A and B are shown apart, each in its own frame.
Chain A
Amino acid sequence: MSKTHVSRRTMLKGLGTVTIGLPLLEEMMVLTVAAAEKTVPVRAFNVFFGLGIPAPLQAEGFKDVLQPLESLSDKLLIMRNVDQVRCDEKGINAHYDGAAGAFTAEPPDGEAKSGGPSIDQVIRQAHYPKGLPAGMVPTLIGGTFFRRSRVGRYVHSYNMDGTVAATIQEKPRDLFDRVFGFISVAGGTDARRRRLKRSVLDSVVDQYKFYTGKNSPLGASSKARVAEHLDRIREFEQRAFAMKHKAPNAPKLPPRSDIAHGGKADPGGMGIDITLDELSSEWRLMADLYALAIQMDRVRFGSLTFLAAGERIRLSGDYKYDGKSLWQFDDARQQNASGDKGCSHEWWHKFNEKRKNEALRAHGHMKMREIAYFLHRLDDSESKEANGKTILENSLITISTESGDGRHNNVKRELSGVFHAITSANGRFKTGQIMDVGAEGLDVYNTMLTAMGATDRLGPAKRKMQAVDAIRA
């Protein structure tokens, strides 16, 4: 691993000894401290990992693939047997349909739309109907992923109308910029020039306000889109004009990412070569920054993706855990294939309960290690809040994935085997157990919404909800 993790304490001290640094603004720091001293805010995030875990391996508990989550087991409720019946249609694609369905409970509606909102966004709407406090990022979506033929493979926060809740930040530097970036306005410190620029922005804001107001000529969907734009302008306004005192000794931006992004990251579904070190370094930097954004109360809702649904990478490198060498990743050579056929994805297709499935297990274990890395970031001493609990304990963090059963020969099994885990959300849900829930996903998700104080529901409006009280504390 080529980096040291970024902690809040390090940042607040303004030390430049770490690999990355932040040109923090004093206002951001003040906000953070103030927030930390008050009540615990409502937060909801989804953490997604691609390709999932076959149900038989989940049944092994923390013995093998899930081992890295064991240290967090007291703070997680791992749910088995949650049936995504809404995605349970013939011909459904377990990768992107299953992925979009986890914690949204609806398969996609169009290539870049979910069939409904994600849980984090319903909760956001319930608790912050008029928007989050000024300067906060309303929804933060980030991820380290490569397969991108459909948005549902890697975005896991959806608006009430099913559109993506925010643009995904796929480079650590972009995520950093999205959360902590300072926008310089032409004119710099020239007060007169700034005043004039301000009047331009005021004029623009007024125009957007008109199109979101009662006399707007726009229909509902269009109006919502313009309102979203207006929200972003407000953020822009805040950063460009309200925050202007740069913290002394502010370090530089995170380094540029060296791995492939954008279209280059997905050469026609053929997969890319990547080392474990490259993958982990990129992800952990992303995870650190995301965790830091939460710790500093810059974000309360969103999602973070570690590898896309149906991900295609050819991973190589020595995989160690707890000082022990567990596996030597070398997908292409081990499968004696190139292109898509040499990707780790194929281990899932080759899954067979009667065999060892060593490569798949190693990949799954590695994914859990990386997910645990992020969760630990929210559970350390710097994540303690006013009530004495950590952010991990106080927030609703859902951990989701896709099918996980690469055999693709039993839809029912496939979509009932999707891995689900949640945190306690400040005592609202049981933790410390692996529970066979045996309920439909919609009922589980809506029970969670009830517990979180949201009145909107996922799924068909007329559907009668069956509360799944077993998961509630």
Chain B
Amino acid sequence: MRATTCEAECQSTRSRRQNRYSFCVATFAIGLLLLPIASSQAASPRVSRDLRALYTFEAGRGDTVKDRSGVRPQLDLKIEKPAAVKWQDGSLVVRSSTRIQSSGPAKKIIDAAKRWGSVTIEAWVKPQSDSQEGPARIVSLSAGPSDRNFTLGQDKKRYDVRLRTTSTSRNGNPSTAAANNSARAVLTHVVFTRDAAGNAKIYINGRQQISKRVAGRLSNWGDSFRLLLANEASGDRQWLGTFYLVAVYKRALSVSEVAQNFKAGAKAAATPIKLAADESSPKARLFETKIAPLLARRCLECHDSSSKKGGLDLSRKTAALAGGETGKAIVPGKASASLLWEAVESGEMPEDGKELSAQEKLLVRQWIDAGATWTVNVIDPAVYAHDGGTGNTWIQRLTVPEYIETVRSAVGIDIEKDARKILPPELRADGFSNTAYNLNVDLKHVEAYARLAEIIVSRMDVLKFAAKFSKSRKLSTDDTMRDFVAAMGRWLLRGPLDDREVTNYSGIATTVASAGGNYKEAVSLLIEAMLQSPRFIYRVENQRGDGTAWPVGEYELASRMSYILWGAPPDESLMRAADNGELLDRSRVEAQVARMLRDPRAIERSAQFIAEWLDLDRLSNMKPNRKRFPKWNDSLAADMRAETLAFFKDVAWKQKRPLADLFNAQVTYATPRLAEHYGLKPKGDGLSRYDLSAVPARGGLLTQGSVLTIGGDDGSMVTRGLFVLHGVLRGTVKAPPAGLDTTPVPSKPGLSQRRIAEMRIDNVACGACHSKFEPLAFGLERFDGLGGYSEKDEHGNTLREDGQILVPGTAEAVKYKTSAELMNLLAGSDRVRETMTWKVTQFAVGRPLTASDARIVGKIHQAAQKGGGTYSSLITAIVMSDLVQMTRTETEQLEIKR
């Protein structure tokens, strides 16, 4: 320990004695606890990510200790008795009793800790003596001697940390103490960390000294406590000594981060630290947020890996830097020598589009001049398809199916028939009907929720339901009613109620009592109210913070998990896990996901995804030409829908095969009617399983009627090809193309749809785009508009099944000879696997994914593929990802304008 404190002393004086510094280290640190400390200590950066407050004591005078974290709002500390302190060379010596405290509650620390369930308290201090006790308060977030969120104190020769959790006392006991002799009258770096799983550690001078569990959550932290230095709020727990640095983080720093801060020294970070959001380099940000989207939208149509006009591929770093036929397009650091700049600056490029705006040109120039930083392997235009407000954080209203399932799970009533009749149907937006921004409300919704609540309650055994939450049947709010409201509310509203809510709902019981009503009537009306409340109708989450991503609360996470996996509310097991803080532990979350995947609701939810992705509801609205398709009827449409869902459940759940196998699995399900339509030998009465290994033309989603009907009566190659491009390969193509009559051209003798498509592709005006998607449908030409199979069309033209597939982002098309080969190519394609990840993820989070999600989705994809690429592995990866575990927060409340 002597070596430790000696090392610390060395650090405290290093600015004045740089030349003696390495000698100290060499003498005392070798073979002991310290991490390597180089002579560049003073230049070592401190950890800035997730910092909440930072005090560096360099003011030199005055009665204010400035918060230097740069995190708003500023949390400055006022020195109550300036005469009790002395500013001294970047430190503050507390010579006699005083309070140094914030003027109001340390809200930014408290809010973050409650949300993150974690905290780091760091201090560079030099105690006046090792005899101070109480413990003497060094850094405290408290209201008095026995009421605190945390306190870092000195209890004679050791440091001691009290932390309030739901498992410790209001006073933060039992405390976590460092080893004896850790506190001495020398400059010392003391760090306390506590993560969301309850692991607490104390580090002294960069080395972990104590590790123990401090169970519970931080959700019970007092909201009104001020941050204090050198004393308790009551003024009777003084600490004397010198402050060099105090910092509070919203998460537990890692071992290496603590070491990094120790290495940075006691006088680091004299300048404000930037927020975590600014952590990536400005050059990388410029590329990712401005340049890549610009190239994707304005350049790649002609200069991606396949088009590569003039030999220039601007989608890949290496290729882009290599340049094209006329030379170097990009010369990093020198826009003036770059052909790209020359072309956009003069307006020569984009060749057949609008000239870049002055602002866009400026960005291109700045980017090249700054070194043309390029942070992705390939610029994928699909990533930038949604760059507007669609990715904002919108509260999610329960969709109609979610509402039905929520009612069923919460109160055991099947309300499906009524809900589907009364509630307005959801509209699809961006491919799915659970897209949050489009889940708006009309008077009809309000009326429906009220009416449905009445119906639900009328069908409930209200007293039996109430007995789950209270044995008492008293109406008095002074007695048991408040507890009953809290217990029932926790269940119905998917998380604990606060006092405001309990009081609000209890008011209903009071009104009933004053009207001479009874307990049953009160409970009935309470349930009605809760069923209409925002916390029932919406998935309410805390979206406030500092503008960065914050962890979601336990109950919020429980709801996210249950709605993603089941489209239903958390069950008792999940709620208990949230109650016990188990959802802060990733391994327990994973165990919950595994359990939930065994529930039949997980299968039904996944089937909802399939129905939405393939827009299966479309089938019931189809009206094909009667003369041409006389056998079409609603029953056949229903059979097609049933086929696809049964096929999916077989492949994804029974066989647990990778999702990409949906494209070539040689099996299907059909009714006798559908089998006949397909030319299969009918069997059984209802939906039967058919092995298709001997039917090469069929096998996989794209050969099913539900998907083939997308092309309309004529099995349009344009529509089918666009579906494969957008829905299966996540490709982009601009529509409609200028210079083209989009009237569909009918087949005729000697002119098949394939030939017509080839003519479009050969046309200079059309080919650039049509070559990207129509060949994707060539392999489907033998399937007519309703999915029937034939080798000649109605005019006697021979139908083909060969073609080629150009996977977005690749340079060369791959040829296929048969429909089956096309299906195998799709099933084996990385791009298809990626698409499945993106589609399922979009459905899971209920919003279109944007460029800012791309990195996380990439990680989800890797994790899912590592797990076999199955639906289960994908859903698990999604739940475990930051898209679900974290939420994007907002800082300031904006004026509402609608």
Contact = CB atoms under 8 A, between A and B. Distances in A.
Interface in B383-405: 386, 388-390, 392-395, 397
A427 interface: no
Most buried by B among A89, A111, A210, A224: A111
Contacts of B685: none
A240 B454 CA distance: 15
Contacts of A269: 712
A219 B534 CA distance: 15
Nearest to B542: A217
B897 A268 contact: no
A214 B445 contact: no
Interface string A158-201: 01111111110000000000100001001000001001110111
B40 interface: no
A407 B742 CA distance: 9
A314 B623 CA distance: 13
B-side binding surface: helix, strand, loop or mixed? loop
Given A109-B388, A196-B511, A163 B740 contact: no
A354 to B, nearest CB: 15
Interface stretch (B93-101, B180-188, B524-532): B524-532
Most buried by B among A88, A219, A223: A219
Contact of B621 (A109, A192, A263): A263
B625 A339 contact: yes
A1 interface: no
Nearest to A349: B743
Given A162-B389, A341-B746, A223 B534 contact: no
Given A91-B735, A160-B897, A339 B437 contact: no
A144 to B, nearest CB: 18
Contacts of A223: 893, 896
Interface stretch (B82-90, B149-157, B425-433, B808-816): B425-433
A32 interface: no
A38 B397 CA distance: 40
Contacts of B735: 91, 93
Contact of B446 (A89, A109, A227, A232): A232
B887 to A, nearest CB: 9
A232 to B, nearest CB: 5
Contacts of A165: 898
Interface in A340-373: 340-341, 346, 349-350
B438 interface: yes
Contact of B736 (A93, A151, A224): A93
A7 interface: no
B737 A91 contact: yes
B710 A199 contact: no
A211 B742 CA distance: 49
Interface string B568-605: 00000000000000000000000000000000000000
Contacts of A127: none
B896 A200 contact: no
A270 B893 contact: no
Most buried by A among B352, B353, B525, B741: B741
Interface stretch (A21-29, A55-63, A71-79, A408-416): A408-416
A90 B302 CA distance: 13
B744 interface: yes
A110 interface: yes
A413 B868 CA distance: 53
A337 B714 CA distance: 12
A224 B898 contact: yes
Given A111-B429, A221-B437, A272-B623, A226 B504 contact: no
Contact of B622 (A112, A212, A268): A268
A115 interface: yes
A467 B166 CA distance: 62
Given A93-B736, A262-B425, A199 B354 contact: no
B738 A203 contact: no
Contact of B529 (A200, A212, A267, A349): A200
Given A112-B437, A192-B515, A219-B544, A340 B621 contact: no
Given A178-B443, A183-B447, A408 B736 contact: yes
A113 B543 contact: no
Contacts of A94: 736
Contact of A225 (B388, B394, B444, B515): B394
B734 interface: yes
B508 interface: yes
B848 interface: yes
A407 B896 contact: no
A226 B742 contact: no
A297 to B, nearest CB: 18
B454 A186 contact: yes
Contacts of B435: 110, 112
Given A221-B394, A268-B709, A339-B714, A226 B744 contact: no
B393 A341 contact: no
Contacts of A151: 427, 429, 438
Interface in A23-52: none
Contacts of B353: 89-90
A10 interface: no
A264 interface: yes
B252 to A, nearest CB: 24
Nearest to B453: A200
16 contacts: A88-B354, A91-B734, A111-B430, A112-B437, A137-B443, A178-B443, A196-B512, A203-B507, A207-B501, A217-B541, A217-B542, A217-B544, A219-B543, A232-B442, A232-B446, A268-B622
Given A111-B428, A207-B535, A210-B500, 13 more contacts: A91-B736, A163-B437, A163-B440, A178-B442, A178-B443, A199-B512, A201-B450, A202-B507, A204-B529, A223-B893, A263-B618, A270-B713, A349-B741
